[in-house]
Amino acid sequence: MNRKLKDKIQGLADKYLQPFDVGYSLNGCCQSSISPAEGEYMHDFIIKHDLQNGIEIGTGPGYSGLYLGSALKKFYTVDNCAIASSLHWDESQVIAHWRKMFDEMGLIDVPLLKTVECSGLPKFDFAFIDGDHTNDAPTKDIFSLIPLMANNHHIFMHDTEGPYVREAIINAYKNGYKIETIQFPANVGNYGLTRLWT
């Protein structure tokens, strides 16, 4: 990822993500999101493998969407706006936040979905799952996406140190997925990033 794009993403994070956390964590990263190192890794992976259509489950503040959307030809996000309650916002304010930030990034008309159970979606060759990390939710997220995925697709899971996300990865492995855990130095932020592919 080039320096100009890194600076643009960080500038938008500084401008738009302050309401989501009290302060920032490592290297200016929003605490309720991915680390910059994780974002850069996925961005560069998408470019290297010429992946075109991507979907993210769990948009949250939208920080990861800046990295993913800037690398993909078409980028979709899925989120139930649960983060609104922690900010005392309503759903329309969250959607307006995403719209404004994504538009300023040059990601015009990003479809903002509440569920993957929509008609007319393309086949995706990339997915990033960082939604509900409790109970069987991560497993449901993976298996709800599988029918929408193209051949030779890649699914990245975040916060894979958590027990329910780990369980989801094991369930995917039992269903024929290969697993790669991406390692990052501790000083750049590492919340657990795992790639699944068949």
Contact 143, 109 (CB under 8 A): no
Q: Which residue has the higher pLDDT, 13 or 128?
A: 128
What length does the chain have? 198
Label residue 32 by pLDDT band (50, 70, 90): low
Tell me the sheet residues that pair with 154.
126, 197
Sign of torsion over alpha carbons 95, 97, 85, 148: positive
Bridge partners (DSSP) listed for residue 129? 57, 157
pLDDT at 174: 98
Q: Check pLDDT > 70 for residue 28.
A: no
- CA atoms of 115 and 57, how far apart (whole Å): 9
Give me the residues paired with residue 128 across strands. 56, 156
pTM: 0.92
Condensed to tens digits (0 to 9), the pLDDT of residues 39-89 reads 999 999 999 999 999 999 998 889 999 999 999 999 999 998 888 777 788
For residues 24-46, average pLDDT: 75
Domains of the chain: 3-197 (3.40.50.150)
Hunting for tokens 């795992």 — which residue is that? 194
Give the pLDDT of residue 190. 58
3-state SS string for the chain: CCHHHHHHHHHHHHHHCHHHCCCCCHHHCCCCCCCHHHHHHHHHHHHHCCCCEEEEECCCCCHHHHHHHCCCCEEEEECCCCHHHHHCCCHHHHHHHHHHHHHHHCCCCCCEECCCCCCCCCCEEEEEECCCCCCCHHHHHHHHHHHHEEEEEEEEEECCCCHHHHHHHHHHHHCCCEEEEECCCHHHCCCCEEEEEC
Give me the chain's average pLDDT, please: 89
pLDDT for res 22: 34
Is the pLDDT confidence value at 189 over 70? no
Structure tokens at 1: 């990822």
pLDDT digits (tens, 9 = 90+) for 86-119: 778 888 998 999 999 999 999 988 999 989 888 8
